[in-house]
Structure 1
Amino acid sequence: MVWTGTRRTVLTAAGLGLLSASCQVKGDRTAEEPRSPFTGEQRIGDRVLTVKIDNVRPARPQTGLDRADIVYAEQVEAGLTRILAVFASRIPGETGPVRSARESDLELLRQFDRPAFCYSGVQSRLRDRVESAHLVALPPGRLPDGYVRRSGRPAPHNLHLRPEVALRAASDASAPRDIGFRFGSAPSGGRRTAEHTVRYPSARYGFTWSADEERWLVSMDGEPATTSGGDRLGAPTVVVQSVRIRSSAFGDRSGNNTPFTETVGSGRALVLRGGREYDARWSRPDAAGGTTFTDADGRRLRFARGQVWVLLAPTG
């Protein structure tokens, strides 16, 4: 167990990939500091904060999404998508718009141990399951001073979160831990590619490689994705994780079924980094464990250091 100030990071044999080197001692100093299990960078953070973010057209541009360690996209009703942002190493002053929780979130979030989870609400039949899950549930009813309505947009696309308030209320949330990601030099092989599109029934994401910025620039529904401050969203690594998306026992007020995204299991994946794409396999045997990504030879596929986007895309 390694202590850094008040921050605690647990290192096991399986988690040695979180270090960029083997921490050889030189005098009384180590050669390398521990790195974030989410980004591979030296900034780690104390606790995991996850936020459900709206991303339909009236909700754009979002606030604070550029500071997330991991950005997940998952399918919701009517073939649209929502974003689940994971914060730890960099906490924005504000983020949003915040939207409601789904059943799929509970399975996806379990690999983070007990994270804080912020969301605008949840349908009544699912409320008890969310609030009793292995996480720190922080909807507006439990954190009234942590949310604010911003002018200029109609509800429900104007609810924003103050993350620092949420973290103060979630003192028992878990610290960042190994969730299966590995970082380092680019793997051999792969195919040169300049852009890639991920399609959902009623949404699409585009990723265009920028050699100057060394990251994949993000588009949503054909439009450049930016922050509310005008900065372009992008990430050094993009993972397209093919998953089974099935009907659930829940639905919305319009009669649309709420899909359930299965993130426990295994399947195909595509990893984008450095202007190349790599075929991969993903595996997550149980909900409490992380998700590993391997190449055709079964070797762990390394990501570029920095923010990671994971598109939980329908198989096929």
Structure 2
Amino acid sequence: MAQSEFPSGNGQSGGLERWFTDRLRWFRALDKRFQIAAAAGLAILLAGVAVLSLSLSGGNGGKQTDETVNPPPISREPSAAPVQPPTPGGLPASPNPLTGDVRPGGKVLAVKIDNVGAATQARQAGLNSADIVYAIRVEGGLSRLMAIYDSSHVPTSVGPVRSARETDLPILAAYGKVDFAYSGASNGFLPDLAKANVFNVTPSTYGGFSNGGSSPTFISPAAVFAQFPDAAVAPDIGLRFADAPNTPPGGTSADSFVVRMPAASFGFSWDGSKYLVSTDGHAAVTDSGQRDTTTNVIVQHVNIVPGRFTDGLDNNAVLSRTTGSGNADVYRNGLVYHCTWSKPTDSSPTTYSINGSPMTLQSGRTWIVLAS
């Protein structure tokens, strides 16, 4: 077997010294050029040995570390949702856009409600569960209501449900594709309703109308949402909220007021916490005697023009133009603010401003009366 030229030592240091002495003599005997080459080769050899030693030891004195060999597992726990900072007035950053409540808004259902005659008004149901109630002038100077509900809180019953009108669709365009419940419409308006961006909930599309869809007829909002589940979730329609004492500057006291139409009227009286609603000179009630109430009232002054459709009588239907701009009187916390409103397109939010700043409401239900 071949023997290594490097002495094993065996405890004899003298043998090792003689080996190095012999090699040194050999090196000095070399030509100068060969000495340089030999030195360079030795340097390369030593560097390679050093690198190999570090690789085998893991760069940590020969010990492996968890950081190098076994990295910590990636956490699969979901990160906590960021905390939303409060907005002025103590409300969270994303309240219900229709009411300003901390309760998130649900899917939207709009319902046309009959409002003609004391007997009809006494039968009304569900108004105090609405997020928003629109009071709209119709033919003959009379009025009809359109109540907006969201699926996060609905009443047992809503009605009496009546027919749709031309004013309704430009209002609803800002809400997205919502469920729209009504019973009937003029023949000329039916094609517009069929192609409108709404889910038409009528006696012909939904079997849940009471009394076979004949007046007086009522619906269950929960049942409507179950059968028409794809309605848009409550969007930002332009309302802004800030609860008292963060009321805007510039309001003047107004404990009671009346808004008149040619053959209808709406009265509102502040009781210290809410407005009590009157219709046509008497207390408005819902759900068998409960007084209609609202937190805010917006009297939105609009142009009211003849509508495109007629019922064949002289009292042609009218259109309240809610797209455009104009003045508005906003009532909250027993005060009135004289504002402006703007809605550039049918699908735009309606913004209400006072002295160039957004007009804010108290969180809660809002009645919007469209008046000339």
Name the amino acid aligned to 1:21.
P
Q: Deviations over 1:294-313 (max 9, x none)?
A: 00x21000001100000011
Deviation at 1:33, TM superposition (A): 6.6
Structure with the larger strand share: 1
CA distance in 2, matches of 1:279, 1:33: 27
Alignment of 1:46-195 (within 5 A): 46-57=106-117, 58-61=119-122, 62-88=124-150, 89-144=152-207, 146-149=208-211, 156=215, 158-184=216-242, 185-195=246-256
Q: CA deviation at 1:200?
A: 0.3
8 Å CA contact 1:20–1:35 kept in 2: the answer is: no
Shift in Å, 1:46: 2.4
Q: 1:34 aligns with which of 94, 100, 113?
A: 94
Give the 3-state SS of the residue equivalent to 2:148 in structure 1: strand
Return closer, same or farther for 1:116/1:237 CA change in 2, 3 Å cut-off: same
Deviations 1:247-284 (A, max 9, x none): 01212254420001100000000000111100000000
With a CA cutoff of 8 Å and minimum separation of 6, indicate the structure with the bigger relative contact order.
1
Structure 1 residue 237: Cα displacement: 0.5
**Structure 1: how far apart are the matches of 2:104 and 2:111?**
18
Q: Please tell me whether the aligned partners of residues 296 and 330 of structure 2 are also in contact (alpha carbons under 8 angstroms).
A: yes
Larger radius of gyration: 2
User: Given the two structures, how large is their TM-score scaled by the length of structure 2?
Assistant: 0.73
Partner of 1:13: none
Aligned equivalents of 1:183, 1:20: Cα separation in 2: 16
Task: Compare 214-223 and 251-260 and name the one that shifted more.
Answer: 251-260
SS of residue paired to 2:110:
strand
Could you say which residue in structure 1 is the equivalent of 2:361? 303
CA drift of 1:78 comes to: 0.3
Kindly tell me: are residues 59 and 44 of structure 1, through their superposed partners in 2, closer, same or farther at Cα, counting changes over 3 Å? farther
Q: Match for 1:244 among 303, 306, 327?
A: 303
Matched residue, 2:86: 21
Kept in 2: contact 1:33–1:42 (CA 8 A): no
- Offset at residue 128 of structure 1 (A): 1.5
Measured on the aligned residues, the alpha-carbon RMSD in Å equals 1.8
**1:44 correspondence with 2:107:** no
Tell me which of 201, 214, 224 is aligned to 2:262: 201
How many Å separate the matches in 2 of 1:32 and 1:202?
A: 42
CA contact (8 A) 1:37 1:179 kept: yes
Percent sequence identity over matched residues? 37
Aligned residue-pair number: 280
Output the amino acid matched with 1:241: Q
Which structure 1 residue ranges, 5 or more long, are not aligned? 1-18, 24-30
Change in 2 beyond 3 A, CA 1:20/1:113: farther
